């Protein structure tokens, strides 16, 4: 006889057991019908999920987006049916993409029957914006862990910024379900280390230690004592020996809620596929159990063997009432508190309103710097840093930092303090040398109303590729600042000189990658990034000084908004020169020399491919006139992608190899990034056309 979950709810004990087994059987049936998915973890963790939601989680099913709700993150995103079953049984109501309550179930039983099918609210892994109740998109293991640290940081910042005596607007907690795979991924260790340093006592990770992965038992590759690792991070580490022991698990959560000086890590030992003939095996992990095994499992649960997607009478009502009775009261109390807060602190209330809408405060553009012409110029990292600090003075919820590189990336916010355990209102984040976690944490902050930025060298975008991609998938307005953008890094050599990185960022759907060519283009780039509400931005900035163009001679930098624009042009041009970033001034120099020789050329600044592609055909043809086939693109990065703009008869001066360690001038000479080389290439193209 299976050991059923212990409960401590007296008369409701039978309904509690029924609810837990409903979660299990819904997961089994959904995966079986889809012939795809992961049944074992939902079966094992059903008692944990049920206990957490029914006894502790602060959510209101009727208003699931109220600001001070607890956040629940399923970092083990492959176990999505656990979350969908919880959302369904809890009776969470849908909020659409515009923030409007529809009155419809967030996840209906029909949605569960359509698990992993086209157009369903139950995709294979939880997707933010697709399913109400999903706080973040998870699936790539470890990302939810990183997101949760950002959410916990955001709560601390929001509490420090908004809370006043008698008016507590923010005091919520963040819960995460994570597994062995999450713990193997480096991003979780990076994030956990920072969370321990910051003493985020509002953060609780629940670690499902089932010791099974897709290849088999985790002893194949993972034998460390994870609890001791987290003790070394400074976490409060607790153990629950059996996932079915709901009383022990409840005591662990009570201990978390009583801990005020560190985050909590609850190690829960479970048996994957509990109750199934395939229990404690990789066969219960990532594939359907099979019809025979499901019948046997339902028999072991005392479940009707001939019923699928069965929700016994009273189960959903019981679960909903357990959650709603607490959540509704807390939400109504919060709304009453906020109404009083709005009367007492109208300006601060307006800030919170704007943050929730993704809006900017009035006057956010006031006092932003513009830059006078200067042939010596300034590095775009420098000019962008000045603009960032000016923006920070106008936008109080602009918060972020660097992976231990702020002196180099110029992203330290001056006079706004550092976010630390004893200063949670600080606005400069110190992520440490943790690029991967930094990106995931920034995403979590964006999911909690803050407008975050995260900075590192462009070559290290490799270390945070996953969160950049997920920011694009989730449509999060995170600004990723990437400096030291080319062989212009110089003496640090090929390990630090990005070549292929621009192509990979530009290839990411929904990511606005902007490479400004001078200080005023950098200012425009930041203004575009901070305006975003549903799209992340990547700002690509130089280490070396770039001449500040004379905008009385050349077109206004506001053209950045259209992705590409005509910077200068002769009448009836016979050649188009295209430049971005540090190569824009190089192209301008070639243009001036060619003009002196009587060559009719046009200069196009193209800082953002994605924005240019959004323009109508008339504008695109105005900038890149179809009849002009002599086109030369110059960029200190890889050539991939430029063919779409230069055409079959055009050329590029780009990088086809990695760089080298040398002073910049020597590198430019070696790889052909000189005015003379650009002019020579342009002349040859014109002769060819003739």
Per the annotation, does 181 bind a ligand?
Answer: yes
The rounded distance, in Å, linking the Cα atoms of 174 and 41 is 21
Q: How far is CA 448 from the centre of its chain?
A: 12
Residue 32 appears among annotated catalytic residues? no
Strand-pair category, 216-217 with 212-213: antiparallel
User: Residue 457 phi/psi, 5° resolution?
Assistant: -75, 150
Is 484 one of the annotated binding-site residues? Answer: yes
Q: Is 139 annotated as a binding residue?
A: yes
Please give the DSSP secondary-structure letter assigned to residue 418: B
For residues 248 and 240, the answer to whether their CB atoms sit within 8 Å is yes
125 is in an annotated binding site: no
Of these residues, 94, 135, 382, 435, which one is catalytic? 435
Considering Cα of 497, then 503, then 509, then 512, what sign does the dihedral take?
Answer: positive
Is position 408 annotated in a ligand binding site? yes
> With contact defined as beta carbons under 8 Å apart, do 267 and 240 qualify?
yes
**Among positive and negative, which fits the CA dihedral 417, 418, 424, 429?**
positive
609 alpha carbon, distance to own chain's centre: 21
Bridge partners of residue 177, in order along the sequence: 74, 206
Q: Helices 291-301 and 13-34: crossing angle, nearest 10°?
A: 180
CB 566 within 8 A of CB 553: no
Q: Which residues contact 265 (CB under 8 A, 6 or more apart)?
A: 192, 204, 205, 207, 227, 230, 235, 236, 237, 238
Query: Is residue 483 helix, strand or coil?
Result: strand
3-state SS string over 499-568? CCHHHHHHCCCCCEEECCCCHHHHHHHHHHHHHCCCCCEEEECCCCEEEECCCCCCCCHHHHHHCCEEEE
CA dihedral 609, 611, 616, 621 (to 10 degrees): -40
Q: Which of 14, 5, 51, 18 is nearest to 311 (CA)?
A: 18
User: Is 496 one of the annotated binding-site residues?
Assistant: yes
Cα distance between residue 171 and residue 168, in whole Å: 7
381 belongs to an annotated ligand binding site: yes
- List the beta bridge partners of residue 142: none
Is 180 annotated as belonging to a binding site? yes
CB atoms inside a 10 Å sphere around CB 169: 21
Question: Quick one: tokens of 74?
Answer: 């399923």
What six digits make up the tokens of 690? 């003739």
Give the residue numbers marked as catalytic: 435
- Binding positions for substrate are 38, 285, 381, 408, 484, 492, 496, 543
- Binding positions are 38, 78, 139-141, 180-181, 210, 212, 285, 381, 408, 460, 484, 492, 496, 543
- Binding positions for thiamine diphosphate are 78, 139-141, 181, 210, 285, 460
- Binding positions for Mg(2+) are 180, 210, 212
């Amino acid at each position: 006889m299976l050991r059923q979950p212990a409960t401590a709810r007296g008369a409701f004990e039978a309904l509690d057991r029924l609810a837990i087994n409903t979660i299990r059987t819904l997961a089994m049936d959904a995966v079986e019908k889809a012939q795809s998915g992961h049944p074992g973890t939902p079966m094992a963790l059903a008692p944990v999920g049920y206990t957490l939601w029914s006894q502790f989680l602060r959510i209101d099913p009727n208003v699931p987006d109220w600001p001070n709700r607890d956040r629940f993150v399923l970092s083990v995103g492959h176990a999505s049916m656990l979350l969908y079953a919880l959302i369904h049984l809890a009776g969470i109501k849908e909020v659409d993409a515009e923030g409007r309550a529809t009155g419809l179930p967030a996840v209906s039983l029909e949605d569960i029957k359509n698990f992993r099918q086209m157009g369903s609210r139950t995709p294979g892994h939880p997707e933010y914006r697709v399913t109400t109740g999903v706080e973040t998109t998870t699936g790539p293991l470890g990302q939810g862990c990183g997101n949760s640290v950002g959410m916990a940081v955001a709560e601390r910042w929001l509490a420090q910024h908004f809370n006043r005596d008698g008016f507590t607007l923010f005091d919520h907690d963040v819960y995460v379900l994570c597994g062995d795979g999450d713990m193997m991924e480096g991003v979780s260790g990076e994030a956990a280390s920072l969370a321990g340093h910051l003493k985020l006592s509002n953060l609780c990770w629940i670690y499902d230690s089932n010791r099974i992965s897709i290849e088999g038992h985790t002893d194949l590759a993972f034998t460390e004592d994870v609890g001791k690792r987290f003790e070394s991070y400074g976490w409060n580490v607790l153990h629950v020996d059996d996932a079915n022991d709901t009383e022990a698990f409840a005591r662990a959560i009570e201990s978390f809620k009583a801990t005020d000086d560190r985050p909590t890590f609850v190690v829960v030992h479970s048996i994957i596929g509990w109750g199934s003939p395939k229990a404690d095996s990789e066969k219960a992990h990532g594939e359907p159990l099979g019809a025979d095994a499901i019948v046997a499992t339902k028999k072991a649960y005392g479940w009707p063997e001939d019923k699928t997607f069965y929700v016994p009478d009273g189960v959903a009502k019981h679960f909903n009432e357990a959650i709603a009775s607490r959540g509704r009261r807390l939400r109504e109390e919060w709304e009453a508190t906020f109404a009083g807060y709005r009367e007492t602190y109208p300006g601060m209330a307006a800030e919170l309103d704007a943050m929730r809408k993704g809006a900017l405060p009035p006057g956010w553009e006031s006092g932003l710097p513009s830059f006078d012409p200067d042939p010596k110029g300034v590095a775009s990292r420098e000019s962008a840093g000045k603009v960032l600090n000016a923006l920070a003075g106008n936008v109080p919820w602009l918060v972020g930092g660097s992976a231990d590189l702020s002196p180099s990336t110029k992203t330290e916010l001056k006079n706004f303090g550092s976010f630390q355990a004893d200063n949670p209102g600080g606005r400069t984040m110190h992520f440490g040398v943790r690029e991967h976690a930094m990106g995931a944490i920034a995403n979590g902050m964006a999911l909690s109303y803050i407008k975050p930025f995260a900075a590192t060298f462009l070559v290290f975008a490799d270390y945070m590729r996953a969160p950049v991609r997920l920011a694009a998938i989730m449509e999060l307005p995170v600004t990723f600042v990437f400096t030291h953008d080319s062989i212009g890094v110089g003496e640090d050599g090929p390990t630090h000189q990005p070549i292929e990185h621009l192509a990979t960022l530009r290839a990411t759907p929904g990511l606005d990658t902007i490479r400004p060519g001078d200080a005023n283009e950098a200012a425009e780039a930041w203004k575009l990034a901070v305006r975003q509400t549903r799209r992340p931005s990547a700002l690509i900035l130089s280490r070396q000084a770039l001449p500040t163009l004379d905008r009385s001679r050349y077109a206004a930098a506001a053209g950045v908004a259209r992705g590409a624009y005509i910077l200068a042009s002769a009448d009836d041009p016979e050649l188009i020169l295209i430049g971005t970033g540090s190569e824009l001034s190089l192209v301008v120099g070639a243009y001036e020399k060619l003009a002196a020789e009587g060559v009719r050329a046009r200069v196009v600044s193209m800082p953002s491919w994605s924005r240019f592609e959004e323009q109508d055909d008339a504008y695109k043809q105005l900038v890149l006139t179809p009849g002009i086939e002599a086109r030369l693109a110059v960029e200190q990065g890889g050539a991939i992608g430029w063919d779409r703009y230069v055409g079959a008869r055009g050329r590029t001066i780009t990088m086809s190899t990695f760089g080298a360690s040398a002073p910049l001038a020597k590198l430019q000479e070696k790889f052909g990034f000189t005015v003379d080389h650009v002019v020579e290439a342009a002349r040859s193209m014109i002769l060819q056309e003739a």
